[in-house]
Chain A
């Protein structure tokens, strides 16, 4: 819960200290809401808060202005302590127009604060948003603290000295809102002013207008006496180090650059633009000075095909996509299974089936990654659990691909991709060596055996074209053991199917055992999660324990193969709850593999789990197990 303490502000205004706050900015998709949210996030990060963000925007680039379909939002959770989620519900909603208010006010708890741009509440805008009457006057917002601020007119007035035309000046109103909220939460202003100067430096009028609007918003808060208090969210205690705020997609891109360096292989990205994965292609394309070759292919199939071709030549071949792209790549991934070459498929999951919800998050591609190919075609799966963890997960996925000569799936999702959190920048010298070896040249006297295997890993040699004496042919037809020649022999086929399966299953020996978060060791309920549910599950776990009850948490990063001890762990608990953003995909795998009565807690609303939803599921399970609140010993957070 949010705790507050009060003190006197120097301008006769109360300063309330709060330990955390959740703010949601909402407006038209053309209003610059994502920029506003990003900037508030940066201010807070530099101030030293812990934070977590949740952008939420429509699939349409510019849906008709003022409509519910066009509302874009950005939620940021800042705190003075370690937090794990962007917050279940906003404490403060900043609504730039009636549609933004209408689309978001339902999430605002009673007593919450709404700051609205009152200039936008004219009859036409109300009608477009589907309001029969003006919510600012009809009493429907009773129960909220509503601050009406004429942001548009104040912005226009403030921007006059810049010489910006009224239409352009009006576009600065998001910076007015940002200034106002920056004042309300006592954020440092220099960060944003410097950013505006840098970002819009090519256009001095825009720099001037945005800066004036930002300052006007800040000063409005100070002088208007509308707000009875300002709030302070003190800096969080972070361990010493250099931090940066990072999104999941940037972390994947940087993780790939790091993995190529650590693996001592050139990076090749074959990709086709798709939401929400395109930013990885964009980011990697910026860094050609690292020697990364990026190909925007003609389609998803060519993207993965080119990556596989590059892998045959000794590159770290990577393709980045989302669900619909994975559908198209399936055949090539199957070929990579047969060729036994390293390949990384990054799937930034989104709502499906088909085009589904392109900009909304979901975790429903797990079984697709697991089984989405014809024949027996096992592929290892690694899943990132937080935005910054995408960096480590990318390196781990590449490690497995290089070492075991196999395609590997890296699963992220829209929530991780666009969400951000502070990340302690690692020292490159602390990152693992994941380099591999290539087959050495031969004199050609002995026939080269492209499918002879390393007895430990069962991986075959990576023999690069250009190496004398290793000329060989590989392909999608079944190959004879060791020689790699085409073979239709039934016994050989069975042997090869088993060898491919054993090679992937054997990776279990090479990944860490699952860590069980169960401080007392006496919990009866286990929350088993994977991927982006990490934050909500961990936060729910804290809440349950703060309430004096017990629950354990295991979070899987490796989904195929499972860590070797997983079966033993899940069998220890009376109840295994699997929260996942699908209809129970991990649940099925766990039930099938371990014959335990794992139960899915599902959510497919295009949004992440709230902490409350998971806490409730644990409470229900505990009640069923006859373990009501207060029975277990108090545990510290």
Chain B
């Protein structure tokens, strides 16, 4: 087939004709806009783009995209997308999920998609609450969360999605938030361009059931002092004029220091390509929740063969070794005998 140039598109080409039905003011709108603005820039085709989701507010996302899409069942999007991505390596497969969908009911599928390095772009909308079922605590809710199902406060220690992904051998992990479309687009672009499983945690405000959960970090007033931007090859500094930075202390732990106190040379330089995920994991633990200075950006981006390519090379290898499969010979391949 001859290559036909990818048609030039605008945001409108990527929006479906369906009315968007999220609550007014929901952070999901800005994430949708970020994706719709980004896609025309990626040089991809609408017909080759597929959004697969599970269940939850975020999971309605595919209905609003003028691409192929599947709104599946709770937690199973990574599994379904795995089958699609493996069998159709020509497609661009996105997974849209939330904290309940990806980390609670679908936790198993998420970690296995990551460790296999299936070629998926996974956007995890983390709002630290169950929205669609009207406000129960989620696996990322802070301890003591008072909700309808936990009137005396939740008892569960929350997951840190970035830490979890790194522990699950993810080759690409990033974090962004719904208040910064430019940053979102950059993270989504990086995730999309990564070959293999890419997970982006998006801090997303649920203005109905968990309003302001990330305000302390992502709010315009606090952002400068509370967001730690991660930029590859750059010292990890934040705050007005970069007056604070990350250092590794004597005990081998990361900590926040005043640059003036420790000197510029002591500030850790971010390297997202480190083979050893240890430092990326340490970075993910700097904040215990969205009330402390929190890293945003790419934690880890390493090259590792994606699962679909490995599957296909095994097929080619088998064909090279045994020849293309011949059904008639297969049916006679057991011990056989002839009568008459």
B16 adjacent to chain A (CB < 8 Å): yes
Interface residues in B44-90 by Cβ distance below 8 A to A read: 45-48, 50, 52, 55, 62-63, 65-73, 76, 79-88, 90
The answer to whether B315 and A302 have CB atoms under 8 Å apart is no
B307 to chain A, nearest CB (A): 9
Residue A451 is within 8 A (CB to CB) of chain B in the complex = no
* Chain A contacts for B62, CB-based, 8 A: 473, 475
Q: Indicate if the CB atoms of B109 and A298 lie closer than 8 Å.
A: yes
The verdict on A287 contacting B325 (CB below 8 Å), with A302-B108, A312-B70, A474-B71 known, is yes
Chain A residue nearest to B324 (CB atoms) is A289
Question: Is there a chain A Cβ closer than 8 Å to B288's Cβ?
Answer: no
Interface residues of A in 283-340 (CB under 8 A from B): 287-291, 293, 295, 297-299, 301-302, 305-315, 317, 331-332, 334-335, 339
Whether A485 contacts B18 by the Cβ 8 Å rule is: yes
**Assembled-state Cα–Cα distance A288/B317 (Å):** 9
Contact among A313, A335, A468 with B87 in the assembled complex (CB-CB below 8 Å)? A313
Query: Which residues of chain A are within 8 angstroms of B45 by Cβ–Cβ distance?
Result: 468
B70 x A257 contact (CB < 8 A)? no
Which residue of the partner chain B has the closest CB to A307? B83
In contact, A295 and B82 (Cβ under 8 angstroms)? yes
Mark out the residues of chain A between 457 and 495 whose CB falls within 8 Å of any chain B CB in the assembled complex.
Answer: 465-477, 485-486
For residue A243, CB closer than 8 A to chain B, the reply is: yes
Given contacts A305-B79, A475-B71, contact A241 B340 (CB under 8 A): yes
Interface segment, one of B227-235, B253-261, B328-336: B328-336
**A469-B83 in contact (CB<8A):** no
- The answer to whether B84 touches A470, judged by C-beta atoms less than 8 angstroms apart, is no
Q: Is B16 a contact of A315 with CB atoms below 8 Å? A: no
Of B70, B71, B332, which one neighbours A425 at CB under 8 angstroms?
B332
CB-based contact A332/B73 at 8 Å:
yes
* Contact across chains for B338 and A291 when beta carbons are under 8 A apart: no
If A244-B334, A473-B62 touch, whether A239 touches B340 (CB-CB below 8 Å) is: yes
Are A309 and B79 in contact, CB atoms less than 8 angstroms apart?
yes
User: Contacts A244-B334, A291-B315, A305-B109 given: A476-B82 contact, CB under 8 Å?
Assistant: no
- Contacting chain B: which of A42-50, A86-94, A205-213, A502-510? A42-50
**In whole angstroms, how far apart are the Cα atoms of A477 and B330 in the complex?**
43
Given A331-B73, A335-B72, A473-B70: A310 in contact with B336 (beta carbons within 8 A): no
Which residues of chain A have C-beta atoms less than 8 A from B63's C-beta? 473, 475, 486
Docked-complex contact B84 and A310, CB < 8 angstroms: yes
CA–CA, A302 and B111, complex, Å: 12
Residues of B within 8 A of A305 (CB): 72, 76, 79-80, 82-83, 109
Secondary structure at chain B's binding surface: helix, strand, loop or mixed?
mixed
Whether B83 and A471, one on each chain, are in contact in the complex, defined by CB atoms closer than 8 angstroms, is: no
Cross-chain contact B337 with A46 (CB below 8 angstroms) = yes
A246 part of interface (Cβ distance < 8 Å):
yes
CA distance A466 to B85 in the complex (A): 12
Chain B residues with CB below 8 A from A241, complex form: 338-340
Contact A302 B90 (CB under 8 A): no
Q: Name the residue of chain B whose CB is nearest to the CB of A476.
A: B73
Q: CB distance A242 to B82 under 8 Å?
A: no
The answer to the question of B314 belonging to the interface, with a C-beta cut-off of 8 Å to chain A, is yes
Q: Which of A42, A241, A291, A475 has the most CB of B within 10 A?
A: A475
- Give B302-338 as 1s and 0s: 1 = Cβ < 8 Å from A's Cβ atoms: 0000000001001101110111110110111011111
Interface membership of A261, Cβ < 8 A: yes
- Bound-complex Cα distance A428 to B72 (A): 38
Which residues of chain A are within 8 angstroms of B71 by Cβ–Cβ distance? 473-477
Inter-chain CA distance A474–B69, complex, in Å, is 6
Does A238 sit within 8 A of B, measured CB to CB? yes
Evaluate whether A306 and B82 lie within 8 angstroms (CB atoms) in the complex, with A48-B337, A470-B47, A476-B73 already known.
Answer: yes
Complex: how many Å from CA A242 to CA B46?
A: 51
How distant is B2 from chain A, measured CB to nearest CB, in Å? Answer: 14
Instruction: Give the docked Cα–Cα distance between A428 and B328 (Å).
Output: 6
A293 to chain B, nearest CB (A): 6
Contact flag A288-B315 (CB < 8 Å), given A244-B334, A298-B108, A302-B79: yes
In the complex, what residues of B have CB within 8 A of residue A7's CB? none
The answer for the CA separation of A370 and B208 in the assembled complex, in Å, is 42
Contact A48 to B86, CB < 8 A, known contacts A289-B324, A297-B79, A332-B73: no
CB distance from B186 to the nearest CB of A (A): 26
Count of chain B residues with Cβ under 8 Å from any Cβ of A? 59
Q: How far is the CB of B330 from chain A (nearest CB, A)?
A: 6
A74 at the interface (CB under 8 A from B): no
- The answer to whether A471 touches B328 (Cβ under 8 A) is no
Whether B84 pairs with A257 at a CB distance below 8 angstroms is no
> Which residues of A have CB within 8 Å of B81?
309
Q: Within the assembled complex, what's the spacing in Å between the Cα atoms of A470 and B48? A: 11
Closest to B67 in A: A471
User: Which of chain A's residues have a CB closer than 8 A to the CB of B109?
Assistant: 298, 301-302, 305
| Cα of A465 to Cα of B89 in the assembled complex, Å | 11
Say whether, besides A293-B311, A465-B47, A242 and B338 are in contact (CB < 8 Å): yes
Interface status of B91 (Cβ within 8 A of chain A): yes
**Interface residues contributed by chain A, number (CB under 8 Å):** 70
Instruction: Name which residue of chain B comes closest to A241, CB basis.
Output: B339
Q: Which residues of A contact B70 (CB under 8 A)?
A: 309, 312, 339, 473-475
| B334 lies within 8 A of A471 (CB) | no
Of the residues B80, B325, B332, contact of A289 by C-beta under 8 Å: B325
A471, B88: Cβ atoms closer than 8 Å: no
For A295, list chain B residues within 8 Å (CB).
82-83, 86, 311
Chain A positions 218-270 with a Cβ under 8 Å from a chain B Cβ: 238-246, 250, 254, 257-258, 261, 266, 268, 270
Given contacts A241-B338, A339-B70, A465-B48, contact A257 B330 (CB under 8 A): yes
**How far apart sit A476 and B56, CA to CA, in the bound complex (Å)?**
12
A468 touches B339 (CB 8 A): no
- Tell yes or no: A426 within 8 A of B by CB: yes
Q: Is B183 an interface residue (CB 8 A)?
A: no
Instruction: State which of A240, A250, A261, A335 has its C-beta within 8 Å of the C-beta of B73.
Output: A335
Q: How far is the CB of B132 from chain A (nearest CB, A)?
A: 12
Known interface pairs A257-B330, A289-B321, A473-B16; A243-B48 also in contact (CB < 8 Å): no
Q: For A42, give its contact among B68, B84, B328, B335 (CB under 8 Å).
A: B335
| Alpha-carbon distance between A46 and B339 when the two chains are bound, in angstroms | 10
Query: When the two chains form their complex, are residues A243 and B336 in contact, meaning their CB atoms are under 8 A apart?
Result: yes
Say yes or no for A354: interface residue by CB 8 A criterion: no
Chain B 154-165 interface mask (CB, 8 Å, partner A; 1/0): 000000000000
Kindly state the separation between the CA atoms of A526 and B207 in the bound complex, as whole angstroms. Answer: 67
Task: Give Cα distance in the complex from A402 to B319, angstroms.
Answer: 27
Inter-chain contacts of A311 with B (CB < 8 A) = 83
- Complex alpha-carbon distance, A243 and B331, angstroms: 10
| Nearest residue, chain A, Cβ from B45 | A468
Q: Is residue B223 contacting chain A, with contact meaning CB distance below 8 A?
A: no
Across the interface, which residues of B come within 8 angstroms of A486, CB to CB?
18, 63
Q: How far is the CB of A68 from chain B (nearest CB, A)?
A: 33
> Does B285 sit within 8 A of A, measured CB to CB?
no
Interface centre among A268, A425, A468, A473 (most CB of B within 10 A): A473
Q: Determine the residue in chain A with the shortest Cβ distance to B323.
A: A289
Q: Whole-angstrom distance from the CB of A459 to the nearest CB of chain B?
A: 19
* Interchain CA distance A305-B314 in the complex, whole Å: 22
**In the bound complex, do residue B340 and residue A254 qualify as a contact, i.e. CB atoms below 8 Å apart?**
no
Q: Are A302 and B82 in contact (CB under 8 A)?
A: yes
Candidates B47, B73, B331; contact of A428 at CB < 8 Å: B331
Please indicate the chain B residues that have their CB under 8 angstroms from the CB of A242 in the complex.
Answer: 332, 336-339
Q: Can you list 11 residue pairs at the A/B interface with Cβ under 8 Å?
A: A288-B319, A289-B324, A293-B311, A309-B81, A313-B87, A331-B73, A466-B48, A466-B91, A471-B68, A473-B16, A475-B72
Which 9 A-B residue pairs are closest in the complex by CB-CB distance? A240-B340, A475-B71, A290-B325, A309-B83, A306-B83, A305-B79, A288-B318, A302-B79, A309-B80
Chain A residues close to B by CB (< 8 Å): 42, 45-46, 48, 191, 238-246, 250, 254, 257-258, 261, 266, 268, 270, 287-291, 293, 295, 297-299, 301-302, 305-315, 317, 331-332, 334-335, 339, 425-428, 465-477, 485-486
Q: A241-B340, A242-B332, A243-B338 are in contact. List 5 more A-B contacts (CB 8 A).
A: A191-B335, A240-B338, A244-B332, A295-B82, A312-B84
